[in-house]
Amino acid sequence: MSIKKATNTFAQENIETYVKTALIFLIVVICFLIFKPFLVPVIWGMIIAIAFYPLHLRLSKLLKGKTGLSATIITLVLLALLLIPAGTFVDHLFENVKELSGHLKAGDLAVNEPPENVAGWPLVGKSIYNSWHQFAVDVREAAEQFKPQIEALGHKVLNFFKSFMGSILVFMLSIIISGLFLANATSGYPFIYKLFNRLVGEEKGTEIVDNSRKTVSSVVTGILGTAVIQTAIISAAFFVFKIPLAALLTLVTFFFAVAQIPVFLIIIPLIIYMFSAVGGAPAVLFTIWGVVGALSDNVLKPMLLGRGLNIPMLVILIGAIGGMLLMGMIGLFIGAVVLALGYQILQLWLDGVKEQLEATDVKNAKD
């Protein structure tokens, strides 16, 4: 009878455990689904907050400890830096579209004849020259001939505009969230420290949290900082030598620099263009300027990436590049932090194994 009663009690306890586990799992899933729409803005908010936290501390001291005011100032400045260029871009875009639409309706849209040297451009010169010439001769006829391509381009431009506006809204929300994180940083950090201390022990937990924060700062200053400096050097050459589509090439250069794609893929065709279209001293100067700019990341990256960390630069770089390939721009930071975290956990495990082996050797020596 006692055995049967013990069995029933054991079964009842198991059922209660399963029910409690299922309820906890259900609550976690529901919480995640509720939080999911805010996941990307919150992650970006954390990244921005970590990147600007040192500035927030210095500004708070200047404001006599008013952390809320400091966070508000940083948030407003970041919003201005985001919205003013974005608003200018959208305004110019609408003005250009309106002007183009007016010319098309009036039937007075004129396209200048292409320069003769366009035909000499490598690979695509002749096809660009011929298409350009067709539009210069008769815009309406050329538009009818290239109607499918124009419609496809229009759809791509519209999709790009939708994506651009969506990204602006996400970053606006992210900046506001980062301001909240900065304002409540003093209460937020203890929670994170407690969580990791609970998971891996007090000493290692604190080290992991500090390294994660430093990793994000390292990626901001290392990869993004290098990309900004490299793009500034190269884009200056675009504008000084009046390269066509200099603004667009600047954006492409920045994307290549962030994605760790060699910017020589942009510079080499432009060097060929300069020698074929301009020649002489300007082409030589542009070549030197472009090559120096393209190679500058080899000097800047080791100086900025991984500085102040006890994690190898290669681990952070691989994590950042792999994360970006997997998750896009946000993966730059998530990939670097996750791989750095994995590296630290591996080191923690190896240190534990080493300590166990040393303890075993000591015990064997005593025996």
Q: What is the pLDDT of residues 37-64, one digit of tens each?
A: 888 888 888 888 877 888 888 998 898 8
Q: What is the mean pLDDT of the segment spanning 83-90?
A: 78
Contacts 24+ apart (CB under 8 A), 125-131: none
Q: Tell me the three state secondary structure of residue 146.
A: coil
- Distance of alpha carbon 283 from alpha carbon 194, whole angstroms: 60
* CA-CA-CA-CA dihedral for 245, 251, 253, 258, to nearest 10: -170
Least confident of 45-49, 131-135, 280-284: 131-135
pTM of the model: 0.67
Q: How confident is the model at residue 8 (pLDDT cuts 50, 70, 90)?
A: low
The number of CA neighbours under 13 Å toward the Cβ of 129 is 12
* More confident position, 364 or 113: 113
* CA-CA-CA-CA dihedral for 213, 215, 221, 227, to nearest 10: -140
Q: What is the pLDDT of residues 297-346, one digit of tens each?
A: 888 877 777 666 677 878 888 888 888 888 777 777 788 888 888 887 78
Q: What is the pLDDT of residues 138-196, one digit of tens each?
A: 777 777 777 787 778 778 878 877 877 887 888 889 889 989 888 887 776 677 777 77
* More confident position, 199 or 240: 240
Q: Is the pLDDT of residue 26 over 90?
A: yes
> Could you give the percent of the chain with pLDDT greater than 70?
85
> Could you give the percent of the chain with pLDDT greater than 90?
9
DSSP for residue 112: P
One-letter amino acid of 260: Q
Q: The tokens of 94 are what?
A: 């609408």
Q: The tokens of 91 are what?
A: 């305004």
Task: Give pLDDT, residue 291.
Answer: 92
Q: What is the mean pLDDT of the segment spanning 185-212?
A: 73
Give the start-to-end residue ranges of the domains of the chain: 41-183
* More confident position, 223 or 22: 22
DSSP for residue 244: T
One-letter amino acid of 141: E
**For 33, left (φ over 0), alpha (ψ -120 to 50), or beta?**
alpha
Q: The tokens of 326 are what?
A: 């997997």
Scan for tokens 């290098």, then name that residue: 226
Task: Give pLDDT, residue 234.
Answer: 92
Q: What is the mean pLDDT of the segment spanning 245-249?
A: 79
Task: Give pLDDT, residue 108.
Answer: 64
Q: How confident is the model at residue 289 (pLDDT cuts 50, 70, 90)?
A: very high
> How high is the mean pLDDT of the chain?
79
Q: The tokens of 262 are what?
A: 């060699």
The number of CA neighbours under 13 Å toward the Cβ of 90 is 14
Helix axes 39-62, 185-200, angle to 10 degrees: 120
Q: The tokens of 112 are what?
A: 């200048």
What DSSP line would sit under 266-284, residue for residue?
HHHHHHHHHHHHT-HHHHH
What DSSP line would sit under 201-222, residue for residue?
-HHHHHHHHHHHHHHHHHHIII
Sign of the CA dihedral 70, 71, 77, 81?
positive
Q: What is the mean pLDDT of the segment spanning 1-24?
A: 73
Q: Is the pLDDT of residue 73 over 90?
A: yes
* More confident position, 75 or 136: 75
- Distance of alpha carbon 223 from alpha carbon 304, whole angstroms: 8
